[in-house]
Structure formats: structure tokens, C-alpha cells
Amino acid sequence: MAAVAPTRDGVALVPRHVAVIMDGNGRWARARALPRQAGHKAGIAPVRLMVEQCAQAGVETLTLFAFSSENWRRPPAEIGALMRLFVEALKREVAELHENGIRLRFIGDLDALGPELNTAIGHAEALTRDNRRMDLVLAVAYGGHWDLAGAARRLAEEVEAGSLESADIDESRFADMLATRDLRPVDLLIRSGGERRISNFLLWDIAYSELYFSDVLWPDFSAGDLEAAFAYFAQRQRRFGRTSDQVVGGGAAEEQQ
Ligand code: FPP
């Protein structure tokens, strides 16, 4: 982690939580007359690069959208290939991630994944649980709607059980019920592949994120592309509902805590 993180107006210039929608694998493959699976395989290299570069920059949490709730609608062969790719990549990369102080975490409807992937996930989380350099959060079978509905259900269960008064439900209690409960809000959301949409990613957590859209297809996403995203972030004035004058007076810093 950077020893002294650079700030402006009391606000971090390096995003503390970066989230990425890695889009464009299929189009990258089609442009080369390859099967879509080849695009997903080629998408591993920029994941490695992103992890290394974010850790070096002092990012605290990097969350990657690996497979959405809606991706179950894809052809079974593509889903099978993606699941195999996740298992293989996890098994291959986990030791090096551990050596580099990265803590791996997974969010999503993990019960819907096969036993092999769940075993690899359990191993990776257990091995890296005490690492503190950077959290790498993989969103698998994750959807913002899935997360929000789950939080609502858990709150309703507590009310039903008599351990919570409905009048006591506020933003903080709601956030405590999300799969992302331990993560700070997203500072910078990056989407590759040219589309300008959120696609049911971290809906609660991106309320005040800066949004960076790149036309580059994910397998081609480079160190320079990430630097461009960081440069964009560094010149944003983050107001969190306040006025510009208040922010220059130092008011936005507390939102970053
Ligand atoms: C979206 O591109 C990408 C995915 C659904 C899969 C993302 C997976 C990887 C990048 C593999 C590596 C990941 C990890 C964490 C090991 P798309 O298929 O929708 O592309 P298209 O829009 O061009 O069709």
C-alpha cells in the first residue's frame, strides 16, 4: 500500500475501492474468428495486470465482475467453459496472490456454483484471509438485485423473529445485510468494451462512484488504460452532495473514511 496516499482537498487521489466490469471478451474473440471461450481465456492476462497495478498504486479493494446473475442465460457450453476457467485460474494463481499479500474474497450466489469451484473458493479464502495489502473481491453469480433482495429478506427475517424493530431499519442497517457489507463504497467504477451501462453490478455501493467507460475490449485492456482511468479519477471533484466551495474548504474528506 502507498506509504502516504496523495490527496487533494483532503480527498484521496488514488481510488480506495475500484470495481471493474470486464466486458468485450466475446467481441475480441469474434474479431479473430475464435470461439467466445477464447476471449474469456484472453481476459485472464488483464486481470493479472490490474491486480498488480492496483496493489502497487495503493488501491485497498479491487472488485471484479466475473459472472453476473444474468450470465446464467448464456449457452451452457459457454457457462461450463467459464466455470472451468475460474477453477483453473484460481488454482494456478492463488499461491502467487498469497505471496503478494492479496486477500481473496468472493461475493455472489456461491451455492449456485459447482462443488469444484466452491472448494477452490474455500481454499483461496482460507489461505489468504490474513493478507492485508489489497482485497481482491471476485463477484461470481452476483447481481445487484440479488444482493438488495437478499438484504431485504434478511431484515424481514429479523423483524419476524422479533430481534429488530422495523422502525430501526436505516441505511446503515440495510448496508450491513448486503454481501458487500465489509467493503467500503466504490470510488471508481471502470467498464471496458464500449457499453455505457451498469448491468446490475454493485447497485448500492456505486451511489457516489466516479464512472469511467473505456471502448477497449477487455482482453486488450492495458496498464495505460488503467492509468487513464486513474488520471480521470484524480481530476474529479467529489462533492457527495455538498457544494464546490464546501469541498474546497475540506468538507468531503469525512465521506472518504
Ligand atoms: C463479459 O464479456 C465477460 C464475462 C462474462 C466473463 C469475464 C471473465 C473473465 C475476464 C475471465 C477471467 C476472470 C477471472 C476473475 C479469473 P462478454 O462475453 O459479454 O463480451 P461481449 O460483450 O464482447 O460479448
Spell out the long-range contacts of 149-156 with Cβ–Cβ below 8 A and sequence spacing 24 or more. 150/177, 150/178, 150/179, 151/175, 151/177, 151/178, 152/177
> Which residue spans within 83-173 are E strands per DSSP?
102-107, 134-142
The pLDDT-based confidence of 90 (bands split at 50, 70, 90) is very high
CA distance 15 to 126: 27
Rounded to a whole number of angstroms, the distance between the first and last alpha carbons of the chain is 16
In this predicted structure, the answer to whether residue 243 has a pLDDT above a threshold of 90 is no
Q: 61 with 135: CB under 8 angstroms?
A: yes
pLDDT value of position 239: 85
Cβ–ligand 1 distance for 117 under 6 Å, the answer no
pLDDT surpasses 70 at 2: no
Mutate to test the pocket of ligand 1, among 113, 218, 220, 221 (most ligand atoms within 8 A of CB): 218
Look at ligand 1, atom 3, and give the residue with the nearest C-alpha: 23
Q: Beta partners for 21?
A: 65, 191
pLDDT for position 106: 98
Q: pLDDT class for 250, splitting at 50, 70, 90?
A: low
d(CA 200, CA 51): 23
Q: Which CATH class is domain 7-150+187-233?
A: alpha beta
pTM as predicted:
0.93
Span 42-59, mean pLDDT? 98
Q: What is the pLDDT of residue 111?
A: 94
CA 74 distance to own-chain centroid: 21
User: What percent of the chain has a predicted confidence (pLDDT) above 70?
Assistant: 93
**67 near 84, Cβ under 8 Å?**
no
68: part of which helix (H) or strand (E)? strand 61-68
Is 71 part of the annotated catalytic residue set?
A: yes
Query: Catalytic site residue 225?
Result: no
Residue 24 has pLDDT above 60, yes or no: yes
DSSP state letter for 75: -
Give the pairing type, strands 11-12 and 61-68.
Answer: unpaired
Which one is predicted more confidently, 47 or 252? 47
Ligand 1 in reach of 71 Cβ (< 6 A): yes
pLDDT > 50? residue 3: no
Cα separation, 195 vs 23, whole angstroms: 8
